[in-house]
Structure 1
Amino acid sequence: MEEDVKDDVGNTRDFSTVHTNTSSLLGGPQTLTIEDVASMAGVTIEEVRDFWVAMGFPSPRSEEKVFTENDAKLFLEWSTFMASGAIDTATARSLLRANSHLADRLGLWQVEALVEDTMRRFGLDDTAARMYVLDHIRERVDVLEDVLRHAWRRQLDALLKRMDHEISTRGHEGLQPRFPLNRSLGFVDMVSYTSSSAILGGKLVDLIGRFEQLSRDAVTDAGGRVVKMIGDAVMYIADDLETGLRVAVSLIEQLGADDQMLPVRASFVRGDVFSRSGDVFGPTVNLASRLVDIAPVGKILMDPTTAAAIAAGKAGMEYDVEEFPSTTLRGFGTISPYLLTYRR
């Protein structure tokens, strides 16, 4: 049922059904079963099921019409790609899961941003804003899709250039199952976040949003990359020591200068990491995570090896290191961290 009424902003609203949005987004009605798709592609039902589940959707019942002609076309292209031997099954699942995870998170982010935009500009409550977004989402899909495609290509290009630069500096060091990546990384988190969250109440969402925005802007502008946001913390990474230090200092300075932000602290470590599923991991990451927990407010805490490299001037002469009391860190034993000081 569709009904034209006046909304809270004085515009005629088109209460479109979910079916209309679905048909528009998916390029047509859902008329095919899993057996239909398997028959069209000349594969087994289990192959279609594996593809669909890896894409992030529940396994359909045999009689359930959940697939569109576009779904069938995409699966045929994918199965042809697989049959060519370009990648193996494990890699195929990994790539599909990456798409699924990122698309789910991106869709949620975009819709929530549009809801907040509608509430802010039109003065609607949450329910009315969500109804408005449902009614008008089709007007925004094309531009959102274009920006996504362009951003992905630009990011992939930047990644390939970084990778090309890195392998040009490597030697042939024998067979290794996975070559570790030498990176500069660390964490910045908000101090007293847990105790403050009960006091902040409804303002907590605004605080997290501001923290994320400021963190992403500071990291990117300084030449680094955000690995992930973890509620009250951000993990950042950079390819070289100098850039990593610039990121860490920029984060502490910009977050510390914002009077709407809780106090922050940071860690900074240079070492080997492994990359998998869009994340990085390894002892270096674990060490950085432990160090940020004991860093003083407004300070950047490092491990001895990283501090030695900085003291030797490998990142320039504008940084000083200062001894910090020895401490015992879970999984690392007793270490003697150092504080970083930036001389302007």
Structure 2
Amino acid sequence: MSESGEPRLTAAEVAARAGLPLDLTRRLFRTLGFAEHGDERAYTRADVDAMRILAEGPDGEVVEPDVALNVTRGIGITMARLADWEVGELVQHVADGAPEDVEDPGAWVTARLGEQFEDLLVYAWRRHLAAAIARMEAVRALDDDPHTTDLSVGFADIVGFTALSNEVSRERIGELVEVFEARCGDVIARENGRLIKSMGDAVLYVNDDPMAAFTTAEGIINVIGRDPRMPDVRVGLATGGVVLRMGDVFGPPVNLAARLTQVARRNRIIVDHATADLLPADQVDSRPLPARPVRGFGVVEPVAVRRA
């Protein structure tokens, strides 16, 4: 930042100092999720340093614009959600302890806890980075394309969430979503899976091992659907080749797992035949269900599974 910490630079000056075209600089700011300020002096030296980081790779190697934009998008989306999460869950509690003469409780909390959160953020990022590299190396040992691999995909959603959200208070819905996401995350981690994303009333996860994916589905039903204080859930599993990009997964198994929840009964697990064939018959009972049309997949014969 500048010595005074005040914004003194225009976007054009940031671009010039970072050695980037102005249009790319503006696009990087937008991709990070920041508002544009036209020709205003709304930027600091920190913005210049950030643009240089995005423009240069290891040892000053120039990064392709598309690569820089993809990395930037991931950072922007992740940090925006993290900031909202922290403000919503932490600041409202900690700020209550701020002195009465503090005009900006948010700034007070940030000043007191910002450095600690920075350390925690870097720690968590390094651990997750090491895990991601290990996964990529494992995939490369089997396939030349590190972005594509065979995985079991699980999709779990809350039954009747829309109707439920119209019947209870916003505070209660917020509590349900928080408990749902937290408990699902715990179960997924316990079975060495990976939570790809949560969507309020649903979670998407992946696992290398179909049996572990099934055990995860069981666990989610046990901690959510079997709890009388929580709504029922449905879980769909599908296995096959998926594309790994920008922290997300894409491909037919992802879509099929989500579709299968639409035909699942409450607190039950429905899988595709690819998953059913990989589950050990001595541990899991499989029962083919009547064939039915599934949007985007034609006529599909789902399989109901449960612990033997």
Give me the TM-score of the superposition, normalised by structure 2.
0.89
Q: What pairs with 1:204-243 in structure 2 (closer than 5 Å)?
A: 204-243=173-212
Q: Distance in 2 between matches of 1:78 and 1:323?
A: 51
Q: Distance in 1 between matches of 2:57 and 2:249?
A: 28
Structure 1 segments (4+ residues) deviating >4 Å:
82-86
Partner of 2:285: 320
Q: CA deviation at 1:42?
A: 4.4
Q: CA deviation at 1:107?
A: 0.6
Q: Are the aligned partners of 2:195 and 2:203 in contact in 1 as well (CA < 8 Å)? A: yes
Q: What is the CA deviation profile of residues 132-175 of structure 1, one whole-angstrom value per residue up to 9, with x for unaligned ones?
A: 444322111111111111101100101111221222233x6xxx
Partner of 2:169: 201
- 1:72 and 2:48 correspond: yes
Q: CA deviation at 1:235?
A: 0.9
Q: Distance in 1 between matches of 2:181 and 2:248?
A: 18
Q: CA deviation at 1:195?
A: 1.6
What is the DSSP-based 3-state SS (H/G/I as helix, E as strand, rest coil) of the residue aligned with 1:140?
A: helix
Partner of 2:32: 55
Q: Distance in 2 between matches of 1:179 and 1:329?
A: 27
CA pair 268-139 structure 1, distance change in 2 beyond 3 A: same
Q: Distance in 2 between matches of 1:342 and 1:227?
A: 25
Q: CA deviation at 1:27?
A: 8.6
Q: Radius of gyration: which is bigger?
A: 1
Partner of 2:22: 45
Aligned residues: 302
| Percent sequence identity over aligned pairs | 29
Over the aligned positions, Cα root-mean-square deviation in angstroms equals 2.6
What is the DSSP-based 3-state SS (H/G/I as helix, E as strand, rest coil) of the residue aligned with 1:247?
A: helix
Partner of 2:229: 260
Q: What is the CA deviation profile of residues 287-307 of structure 1, one whole-angstrom value per residue up to 9, with x for unaligned ones?
A: 111100110111100112221
Q: CA deviation at 1:74?
A: 2.8
Q: What is the CA deviation profile of residues 67-90 of structure 1, one whole-angstrom value per residue up to 9, with x for unaligned ones?
A: 112222332344344995553111
Partner of 1:248: 217
What is the DSSP-based 3-state SS (H/G/I as helix, E as strand, rest coil) of the residue aligned with 1:301?
A: strand
Q: Distance in 2 between matches of 1:271 and 1:42?
A: 44
Give me the TM-score of the superposition, normalised by structure 1.
0.80
Q: Are the aligned partners of 1:223 and 1:247 in contact in 2 as well (CA < 8 Å)? A: no
CA pair 46-197 structure 1, distance change in 2 beyond 3 A: closer
- 1:283 and 2:248 correspond: no
Q: Are the aligned partners of 2:94 and 2:109 in contact in 1 as well (CA < 8 Å)? A: no
What is the DSSP-based 3-state SS (H/G/I as helix, E as strand, rest coil) of the residue aligned with 1:294?
A: coil
